Structure 1
Protein backbone atom coordinates (compact mmCIF):
# COMPACT_ATOMS: atom_id res chain seq x y z
CA UNK A 1 0.00 0.00 0.00
CA UNK A 2 1.34 3.35 -1.00
CA UNK A 3 1.68 6.00 1.70
CA UNK A 4 -0.04 9.41 1.28
CA UNK A 5 3.39 10.94 1.01
CA UNK A 6 4.14 8.88 -2.11
CA UNK A 7 0.75 9.57 -3.70
CA UNK A 8 1.06 13.35 -3.44
CA UNK A 9 4.79 13.46 -3.99
CA UNK A 10 7.49 15.16 -2.03
CA UNK A 11 7.17 18.79 -0.93
CA UNK A 12 9.74 19.83 -3.60
CA UNK A 13 7.58 18.21 -6.29
CA UNK A 14 4.46 19.95 -5.00
CA UNK A 15 6.23 23.33 -5.21
CA UNK A 16 7.41 22.58 -8.80
CA UNK A 17 3.86 21.82 -9.85
CA UNK A 18 2.56 25.29 -8.83
CA UNK A 19 0.72 27.72 -11.25
CA UNK A 20 2.97 29.80 -13.54
CA UNK A 21 1.64 32.98 -15.40
CA UNK A 22 3.71 34.54 -18.17
CA UNK A 23 3.19 38.04 -19.72
CA UNK A 24 3.17 37.48 -23.48
CA UNK A 25 2.23 41.03 -24.58
CA UNK A 26 4.49 42.32 -27.35
CA UNK A 27 4.41 45.96 -26.13
CA UNK A 28 5.04 47.39 -22.72
CA UNK A 29 1.69 48.85 -21.49
CA UNK A 30 3.47 51.76 -19.76
CA UNK A 31 6.16 52.87 -22.25
CA UNK A 32 4.57 51.48 -25.49
CA UNK A 33 8.02 50.10 -26.41
CA UNK A 34 8.38 46.80 -28.25
CA UNK A 35 9.64 44.04 -26.02
CA UNK A 36 12.55 41.78 -26.89
CA UNK A 37 11.69 38.12 -27.41
CA UNK A 38 12.72 36.08 -24.33
CA UNK A 39 15.56 33.64 -24.74
CA UNK A 40 14.53 29.98 -24.59
CA UNK A 41 15.33 28.27 -21.30
CA UNK A 42 15.83 24.64 -20.59
CA UNK A 43 12.85 22.81 -19.16
CA UNK A 44 13.05 21.94 -15.49
CA UNK A 45 14.24 18.43 -14.94
CA UNK A 46 11.74 16.05 -13.55
CA UNK A 47 12.64 13.19 -11.29
CA UNK A 48 13.02 9.87 -12.97
CA UNK A 49 9.92 7.77 -12.95
CA UNK A 50 7.65 10.69 -12.03
CA UNK A 51 4.44 10.78 -13.94
CA UNK A 52 3.50 14.27 -15.10
CA UNK A 53 0.22 15.31 -13.63
CA UNK A 54 -2.30 17.23 -15.58
CA UNK A 55 -2.27 20.72 -14.21
CA UNK A 56 -4.12 23.76 -15.36
CA UNK A 57 -3.09 24.52 -18.94
CA UNK A 58 -2.03 27.90 -20.24
CA UNK A 59 -4.83 30.42 -20.29
CA UNK A 60 -6.12 31.26 -23.78
CA UNK A 61 -4.94 34.55 -25.05
CA UNK A 62 -7.65 37.17 -25.20
CA UNK A 63 -8.30 39.47 -28.12
CA UNK A 64 -6.49 42.18 -26.26
CA UNK A 65 -3.37 39.98 -26.01
CA UNK A 66 -3.52 38.98 -29.68
CA UNK A 67 -3.79 42.59 -30.76
CA UNK A 68 -1.08 43.81 -28.47
CA UNK A 69 -3.36 44.64 -25.50
CA UNK A 70 -5.19 47.29 -27.58
CA UNK A 71 -2.04 49.34 -28.07
CA UNK A 72 -1.08 50.90 -31.43
CA UNK A 73 2.17 49.37 -32.75
CA UNK A 74 4.97 51.43 -34.17
CA UNK A 75 6.23 54.89 -33.25
CA UNK A 76 2.82 56.65 -33.48
CA UNK A 77 1.95 58.45 -30.27
CA UNK A 78 -1.60 59.55 -29.60
CA UNK A 79 -1.51 63.18 -28.48
CA UNK A 80 -3.03 63.88 -25.10
CA UNK A 81 -4.49 67.23 -26.24
CA UNK A 82 -6.30 67.35 -29.63
CA UNK A 83 -7.49 70.93 -29.25
CA UNK A 84 -4.77 72.02 -31.71
CA UNK A 85 -6.16 69.74 -34.44
CA UNK A 86 -9.68 71.04 -33.85
CA UNK A 87 -8.39 74.62 -33.99
CA UNK A 88 -6.66 74.03 -37.36
CA UNK A 89 -9.83 72.49 -38.79
CA UNK A 90 -11.90 75.43 -37.58
CA UNK A 91 -9.45 77.92 -39.07
CA UNK A 92 -9.60 76.13 -42.44
CA UNK A 93 -13.41 76.23 -42.39
CA UNK A 94 -13.43 79.95 -41.55
CA UNK A 95 -10.92 80.71 -44.29
CA UNK A 96 -13.10 78.83 -46.78
CA UNK A 97 -16.17 80.80 -45.68
CA UNK A 98 -14.29 84.10 -45.96
CA UNK A 99 -13.15 83.16 -49.47
CA UNK A 100 -16.71 82.31 -50.54
CA UNK A 101 -18.13 85.52 -49.05
CA UNK A 102 -15.42 87.57 -50.74
CA UNK A 103 -16.23 86.03 -54.12
CA UNK A 104 -19.95 86.72 -53.58
CA UNK A 105 -19.18 90.34 -52.67
CA UNK A 106 -16.98 90.82 -55.74
CA UNK A 107 -19.67 89.33 -57.99
CA UNK A 108 -22.35 91.60 -56.48
CA UNK A 109 -20.09 94.63 -56.84
CA UNK A 110 -19.45 93.84 -60.53
CA UNK A 111 -23.17 93.40 -61.13
CA UNK A 112 -23.87 96.74 -59.43
CA UNK A 113 -21.24 98.53 -61.51
CA UNK A 114 -22.70 97.09 -64.73
CA UNK A 115 -26.22 98.01 -63.61
CA UNK A 116 -25.16 101.60 -62.81
CA UNK A 117 -23.46 101.97 -66.20
CA UNK A 118 -26.54 100.64 -67.97
CA UNK A 119 -28.83 102.98 -66.02
CA UNK A 120 -26.60 105.99 -66.74
CA UNK A 121 -26.47 105.11 -70.43
CA UNK A 122 -30.23 104.67 -70.63
CA UNK A 123 -30.72 107.96 -68.80
CA UNK A 124 -28.44 109.80 -71.23
CA UNK A 125 -30.20 108.21 -74.20
CA UNK A 126 -33.60 109.16 -72.81
CA UNK A 127 -32.46 112.72 -72.17
CA UNK A 128 -30.95 113.01 -75.65
CA UNK A 129 -34.09 111.56 -77.20
CA UNK A 130 -36.24 114.13 -75.39
CA UNK A 131 -34.03 116.98 -76.60
CA UNK A 132 -34.17 115.71 -80.19
CA UNK A 133 -37.96 115.52 -80.03
CA UNK A 134 -38.26 119.11 -78.77
CA UNK A 135 -35.70 120.46 -81.24
CA UNK A 136 -37.41 118.68 -84.14
CA UNK A 137 -40.73 120.27 -83.19
CA UNK A 138 -39.15 123.72 -82.91
CA UNK A 139 -37.58 123.64 -86.39
CA UNK A 140 -40.75 125.00 -87.96
CA UNK A 141 -40.64 128.00 -85.56
CA UNK A 142 -37.01 128.63 -86.47
CA UNK A 143 -37.90 128.55 -90.19
CA UNK A 144 -40.54 131.23 -89.60
CA UNK A 145 -38.09 133.36 -87.67
CA UNK A 146 -35.54 132.98 -90.49
CA UNK A 147 -38.08 134.02 -93.07
CA UNK A 148 -39.16 137.02 -90.96
CA UNK A 149 -35.55 138.09 -90.59
CA UNK A 150 -35.02 137.79 -94.35
CA UNK A 151 -37.98 140.15 -94.89
CA UNK A 152 -36.81 142.47 -92.07
CA UNK A 153 -39.94 141.85 -90.06
CA UNK A 154 -38.13 141.21 -86.76
CA UNK A 155 -38.30 144.30 -84.58
CA UNK A 156 -39.08 145.33 -81.03
CA UNK A 157 -40.17 142.71 -78.55
CA UNK A 158 -40.74 140.13 -81.29
CA UNK A 159 -37.06 140.34 -82.20
CA UNK A 160 -36.02 139.80 -78.55
CA UNK A 161 -38.24 136.71 -78.31
CA UNK A 162 -36.78 135.30 -81.56
CA UNK A 163 -33.23 135.80 -80.32
CA UNK A 164 -34.06 134.12 -77.01
CA UNK A 165 -35.50 131.06 -78.79
CA UNK A 166 -32.43 130.76 -80.98
CA UNK A 167 -30.19 131.12 -77.92
CA UNK A 168 -31.97 128.27 -76.09
CA UNK A 169 -31.74 126.05 -79.18
CA UNK A 170 -27.99 126.74 -79.50
CA UNK A 171 -27.55 125.97 -75.78
CA UNK A 172 -28.79 122.42 -76.38
CA UNK A 173 -26.40 121.92 -79.34
CA UNK A 174 -28.69 122.87 -82.25
CA UNK A 175 -26.92 124.60 -85.13
CA UNK A 176 -27.95 125.57 -88.68
CA UNK A 177 -25.81 124.82 -91.75
CA UNK A 178 -25.92 125.25 -95.52
CA UNK A 179 -24.36 128.07 -97.53
CA UNK A 180 -24.13 128.88 -101.20
CA UNK A 181 -20.98 127.75 -103.00
CA UNK A 182 -20.13 124.81 -100.74
CA UNK A 183 -19.64 121.36 -102.29
CA UNK A 184 -22.78 119.29 -102.51
CA UNK A 185 -22.82 116.35 -100.10
CA UNK A 186 -25.74 113.97 -100.44
CA UNK A 187 -25.32 112.90 -96.81
CA UNK A 188 -26.11 116.38 -95.47
CA UNK A 189 -27.85 118.04 -98.43
CA UNK A 190 -31.13 117.33 -100.16
CA UNK A 191 -31.14 118.52 -103.79
CA UNK A 192 -34.55 119.90 -104.79
CA UNK A 193 -33.53 121.32 -108.17
CA UNK A 194 -30.64 121.55 -110.60
CA UNK A 195 -29.45 124.80 -112.16
CA UNK A 196 -27.06 125.13 -115.11
CA UNK A 197 -23.65 126.49 -114.30
CA UNK A 198 -22.89 130.07 -115.37
CA UNK A 199 -21.09 130.43 -118.73
CA UNK A 200 -17.34 130.36 -118.48
CA UNK A 201 -17.40 128.68 -115.05
CA UNK A 202 -15.66 125.36 -114.65
CA UNK A 203 -16.68 123.28 -111.64
CA UNK A 204 -14.97 120.12 -110.44
CA UNK A 205 -18.22 118.76 -109.00
CA UNK A 206 -21.75 119.72 -108.01
CA UNK A 207 -22.00 122.85 -105.92
CA UNK A 208 -24.80 124.35 -103.82
CA UNK A 209 -26.21 127.16 -105.91
CA UNK A 210 -28.91 128.25 -103.45
CA UNK A 211 -30.14 127.25 -99.99
CA UNK A 212 -33.91 126.84 -100.09
CA UNK A 213 -34.19 125.68 -96.45
CA UNK A 214 -31.30 125.50 -93.98
CA UNK A 215 -30.35 122.20 -92.39
CA UNK A 216 -29.95 121.62 -88.66
CA UNK A 217 -27.57 119.51 -86.61
CA UNK A 218 -27.93 118.48 -82.99
CA UNK A 219 -24.36 117.79 -81.99
CA UNK A 220 -23.13 115.35 -84.66
CA UNK A 221 -26.61 114.10 -85.54
CA UNK A 222 -28.46 115.51 -88.59
CA UNK A 223 -31.99 116.46 -87.59
CA UNK A 224 -32.87 117.79 -91.04
CA UNK A 225 -30.75 117.95 -94.20
CA UNK A 226 -30.33 121.28 -95.96
CA UNK A 227 -32.61 121.61 -98.97
CA UNK A 228 -30.66 123.21 -101.78
CA UNK A 229 -30.44 123.87 -105.50
CA UNK A 230 -27.43 122.24 -107.17
CA UNK A 231 -25.37 123.37 -110.12
CA UNK A 232 -22.49 121.80 -111.99
CA UNK A 233 -21.92 118.21 -113.13
Structure 2
Protein backbone atom coordinates (compact mmCIF):
# COMPACT_ATOMS: atom_id res chain seq x y z
CA UNK A 1 0.00 0.00 0.00
CA UNK A 2 2.85 2.35 0.68
CA UNK A 3 4.11 1.81 -2.86
CA UNK A 4 0.67 2.74 -4.27
CA UNK A 5 0.65 5.91 -2.21
CA UNK A 6 4.12 6.81 -3.41
CA UNK A 7 3.11 6.23 -7.01
CA UNK A 8 0.01 8.34 -6.61
CA UNK A 9 2.04 11.00 -4.75
CA UNK A 10 4.62 11.02 -7.55
CA UNK A 11 1.82 11.16 -10.09
CA UNK A 12 0.23 14.10 -8.27
CA UNK A 13 3.55 15.96 -8.23
CA UNK A 14 4.04 15.33 -11.95
CA UNK A 15 0.51 16.58 -12.71
CA UNK A 16 1.06 19.62 -10.50
CA UNK A 17 4.31 20.41 -12.33
CA UNK A 18 2.55 20.03 -15.72
CA UNK A 19 -0.33 22.29 -14.70
CA UNK A 20 2.05 24.85 -13.24
CA UNK A 21 4.03 24.90 -16.50
CA UNK A 22 0.76 25.22 -18.47
CA UNK A 23 -0.31 28.12 -16.28
CA UNK A 24 3.05 29.84 -16.69
CA UNK A 25 2.83 29.48 -20.50
CA UNK A 26 -0.71 30.89 -20.56
CA UNK A 27 0.33 33.81 -18.35
CA UNK A 28 3.33 34.57 -20.59
CA UNK A 29 1.12 34.44 -23.70
CA UNK A 30 -1.40 36.79 -22.05
CA UNK A 31 1.35 39.23 -21.02
CA UNK A 32 2.69 39.23 -24.59
CA UNK A 33 -0.83 39.81 -25.92
CA UNK A 34 -1.36 42.78 -23.60
CA UNK A 35 1.95 44.35 -24.64
CA UNK A 36 1.14 43.80 -28.34
CA UNK A 37 -2.31 45.41 -27.93
CA UNK A 38 -0.78 48.39 -26.09
CA UNK A 39 1.85 48.80 -28.85
CA UNK A 40 -0.84 48.54 -31.56
CA UNK A 41 -3.01 51.15 -29.85
CA UNK A 42 -0.09 53.57 -29.62
CA UNK A 43 0.76 52.99 -33.29
CA UNK A 44 -2.83 53.63 -34.36
CA UNK A 45 -2.91 56.83 -32.28
CA UNK A 46 0.37 58.04 -33.79
CA UNK A 47 -0.90 57.39 -37.32
CA UNK A 48 -4.19 59.17 -36.61
CA UNK A 49 -2.43 62.21 -35.11
CA UNK A 50 0.00 62.32 -38.04
CA UNK A 51 -2.86 62.19 -40.55
CA UNK A 52 -4.72 65.04 -38.84
CA UNK A 53 -1.59 67.16 -38.57
CA UNK A 54 -0.68 66.53 -42.22
CA UNK A 55 -4.19 67.65 -43.23
CA UNK A 56 -3.75 70.87 -41.23
CA UNK A 57 -0.38 71.85 -42.76
CA UNK A 58 -2.03 73.80 -45.63
CA UNK A 59 -3.93 75.83 -43.00
CA UNK A 60 -0.67 76.56 -41.22
CA UNK A 61 0.91 77.56 -44.55
CA UNK A 62 -2.02 79.93 -45.24
CA UNK A 63 -1.58 81.54 -41.81
CA UNK A 64 2.16 81.95 -42.48
CA UNK A 65 1.44 83.58 -45.86
CA UNK A 66 -1.06 85.91 -44.19
CA UNK A 67 1.57 86.84 -41.59
CA UNK A 68 4.00 87.67 -44.38
CA UNK A 69 1.63 89.65 -46.61
CA UNK A 70 -1.11 91.11 -44.42
CA UNK A 71 -1.02 93.66 -41.63
CA UNK A 72 -1.03 91.70 -38.38
CA UNK A 73 -4.30 92.31 -36.60
CA UNK A 74 -4.76 91.06 -33.04
CA UNK A 75 -7.29 88.52 -34.33
CA UNK A 76 -4.95 87.09 -36.96
CA UNK A 77 -2.10 86.94 -34.45
CA UNK A 78 -4.38 85.14 -31.95
CA UNK A 79 -5.50 82.60 -34.56
CA UNK A 80 -1.93 81.88 -35.63
CA UNK A 81 -0.62 81.61 -32.08
CA UNK A 82 -3.47 79.33 -31.00
CA UNK A 83 -3.06 77.11 -34.05
CA UNK A 84 0.68 76.75 -33.50
CA UNK A 85 0.22 76.07 -29.77
CA UNK A 86 -2.42 73.39 -30.34
CA UNK A 87 -0.49 71.69 -33.14
CA UNK A 88 2.64 71.80 -31.01
CA UNK A 89 0.79 70.14 -28.14
CA UNK A 90 0.10 67.24 -30.52
CA UNK A 91 3.82 66.93 -31.24
CA UNK A 92 4.19 68.95 -34.46
CA UNK A 93 7.69 70.39 -34.82
CA UNK A 94 8.97 72.49 -37.70
CA UNK A 95 12.51 72.27 -39.00
CA UNK A 96 14.73 73.88 -41.56
CA UNK A 97 17.15 76.68 -40.79
CA UNK A 98 19.37 78.65 -43.09
CA UNK A 99 22.87 77.23 -42.86
CA UNK A 100 21.74 73.65 -42.15
CA UNK A 101 23.63 71.02 -44.11
CA UNK A 102 21.43 69.78 -46.95
CA UNK A 103 19.93 66.36 -46.19
CA UNK A 104 17.93 64.82 -49.05
CA UNK A 105 15.96 62.74 -46.55
CA UNK A 106 14.33 65.79 -44.97
CA UNK A 107 15.01 68.62 -47.43
CA UNK A 108 13.67 69.10 -50.93
CA UNK A 109 16.01 71.28 -53.00
CA UNK A 110 14.04 73.36 -55.48
CA UNK A 111 16.83 75.85 -56.29
CA UNK A 112 20.58 75.22 -56.57
CA UNK A 113 23.07 78.06 -56.60
CA UNK A 114 26.67 77.23 -57.38
CA UNK A 115 29.23 78.48 -54.90
CA UNK A 116 32.81 77.97 -56.11
CA UNK A 117 34.97 76.62 -53.34
CA UNK A 118 32.06 75.19 -51.36
CA UNK A 119 32.65 71.66 -50.11
CA UNK A 120 29.06 70.61 -49.43
CA UNK A 121 25.47 71.63 -50.05
CA UNK A 122 24.00 74.01 -47.49
CA UNK A 123 20.43 75.27 -47.10
CA UNK A 124 20.73 78.92 -48.08
CA UNK A 125 17.04 79.80 -47.90
CA UNK A 126 14.00 78.05 -46.44
CA UNK A 127 11.18 78.41 -48.94
CA UNK A 128 8.71 76.28 -46.98
CA UNK A 129 9.38 74.75 -43.54
CA UNK A 130 9.38 71.03 -43.02
CA UNK A 131 7.41 69.31 -40.27
CA UNK A 132 7.86 66.25 -38.08
CA UNK A 133 5.88 64.44 -35.44
CA UNK A 134 8.33 62.59 -33.26
CA UNK A 135 10.63 60.77 -35.67
CA UNK A 136 8.02 60.72 -38.45
CA UNK A 137 8.57 63.12 -41.33
CA UNK A 138 5.28 64.76 -42.34
CA UNK A 139 6.68 67.07 -44.98
CA UNK A 140 10.22 67.83 -46.16
CA UNK A 141 11.43 71.41 -46.04
CA UNK A 142 11.61 73.09 -49.45
CA UNK A 143 14.95 74.84 -49.65
CA UNK A 144 17.31 76.72 -51.90
CA UNK A 145 20.79 75.27 -51.60
CA UNK A 146 24.25 76.59 -52.31
CA UNK A 147 27.18 74.35 -52.87
CA UNK A 148 29.66 72.94 -55.31
CA UNK A 149 28.71 73.30 -58.98
| Distance in 1 of aligned mates of 2:41 and 2:113 | 47
Task: Give unpaired runs (5+ residues) of structure 1.
Answer: 1-81
Alignment partner of 1:208 is 2:126: no
Give the C-alpha shift of residue 118 in structure 1: 1.0
TM-score, normalising length: structure 2: 0.89
| Distance in 1 of aligned mates of 2:76 and 2:145 | 34
1:102 aligned residue: 20
Task: Give unpaired runs (5+ residues) of structure 2.
Answer: none
Secondary structure of the corresponding residue to residue 158 of structure 1:
helix
1:221 aligned residue: 136
Larger Rg over CA atoms: 1
1:141-192 deviation digits (Å, cap 9, x = unpaired): 1111111222254422232122111111111221111122322221211011
| Distance in 2 of aligned mates of 1:154 and 1:134 | 27
Alignment partner of 1:132 is 2:50: yes
CA root-mean-square deviation: 1.7
| Distance in 2 of aligned mates of 1:185 and 1:153 | 35
| Distance in 1 of aligned mates of 2:121 and 2:96 | 14
Secondary structure of the corresponding residue to residue 193 of structure 1:
strand
Give the C-alpha shift of residue 105 in structure 1: 0.1
2:147 aligned residue: 232
Give the C-alpha shift of residue 135 in structure 1: 0.8
Please identify which structure carries the higher helix content: 2
Instruction: State how 1:33-112 maps to structure 2 within 5 Å.
Output: 82=1, 84-112=2-30
Alignment partner of 1:119 is 2:37: yes
| Distance in 2 of aligned mates of 1:173 and 1:135 | 9
TM-score, normalising length: structure 1: 0.59
- Aligned match for 1:189, one of 102, 107, 110: 107
Of stretches 207-216 and 153-162 in structure 1, the one that deviates more from structure 2 is 153-162
| Distance in 2 of aligned mates of 1:214 and 1:153 | 22
Runs of 4+ with deviation above 4 angstroms: none
| Distance in 2 of aligned mates of 1:202 and 1:177 | 27
| Distance in 1 of aligned mates of 2:128 and 2:34 | 42
Please identify which structure carries the higher strand content: 2
| Distance in 1 of aligned mates of 2:11 and 2:101 | 75
